[in-house]
Amino acid sequence: MDLAARKNIFKERFDQIKDIDLIQRFEEFLELQLSNKKIVAYTVQGEALTKEMYVEKVQDTLKSVKNGNFTTVEDLEKESENW
């Protein structure tokens, strides 16, 4: 199957998508691919991350922890008793 045929099949399948979140993920993926930025990680929600995006998320997390925004193991154990 040649490239043109594969693109047509993809377009037809893409047009069937009804989930806006999935469309957004395709847009983000396409933007990253066309910009030649390398994907180095994914979030648990499936969002692709470039190195710059990954470093920014790590830095934000470290700031959050320094500001006291975390849960201790002890607190988590107490909370899990009520699950």
The DSSP secondary-structure symbol of 76 reads H
Domain residues for the domain of 80 are 50-83
Q: Give percent of the chain above pLDDT 90.
A: 70
Amino acid letter, 41: A
Looking at the structure, tell me whether residues 27 and 54 fall in a common domain.
no
Band of residue 57 on the pLDDT scale cut at 50, 70, 90: very high
In this structure, is residue 31 part of a structural domain?
yes
Residue pair 31/23 in contact (Cβ under 8 Å)? The answer is no
In this structure, is residue 72 part of a structural domain?
yes
In this structure, is residue 45 part of a structural domain?
no
What's the pLDDT at 16? 96
pLDDT digits (tens, 9 = 90+) for 19-44: 999 999 899 888 888 887 888 998 99
Exposed/middle/buried for residue 47 (C-beta within 10 Å: 0-12, 13-18, 19+): middle
Res 83 pLDDT > 90: no
Band of residue 68 on the pLDDT scale cut at 50, 70, 90: very high
